[in-house]
Amino acid sequence: MLYVFMLMDKPGSGELRQANRPVHKAYLAEMQERIAFAGPLLADDGTTMVGSLLVIDFLSRDAAEAWLAQEPFVQAGVFASTTVQAFVNLWPQKVGFPA
């Protein structure tokens, strides 16, 4: 089952996010075969990161939540809120993905 992770940063956590980004990316790389898509959520200026959106395949919600509990940004306290929701992709992606 795919799970969507909607993860919103605490205000003013940009430096904390940047400091933990390498270990966050390494943690995601361990799951690369199960990631449908992932990336930062941006402010309207198109550059300021304000959160993360991840869609990852897990066997259960418990497994998804256990993975999230160990996520480096979560461990560092970057996020103000986290939401995990089951998801079914019914539309083939055409845009928004790197070549």
59-76 confidence digits (pLDDT tens): 999 999 999 999 999 999
For residue 14, pLDDT beyond 90: yes
On whether the CB atoms of residues 24 and 5 are closer than 8 A, the answer is no
Phi, psi dihedral angles at 9 (to 5 degrees): -70, 150
- Give percent of the chain with pLDDT exceeding 70: 99
Phi, psi dihedral angles at 6 (to 5 degrees): -105, 110
Query: Residue 60: how many CA atoms within 13 Å on its side-chain side?
Result: 3
76-94 pLDDT per residue, tens:
999 999 999 999 989 887 7
Helix H or strand E encompassing 88: none
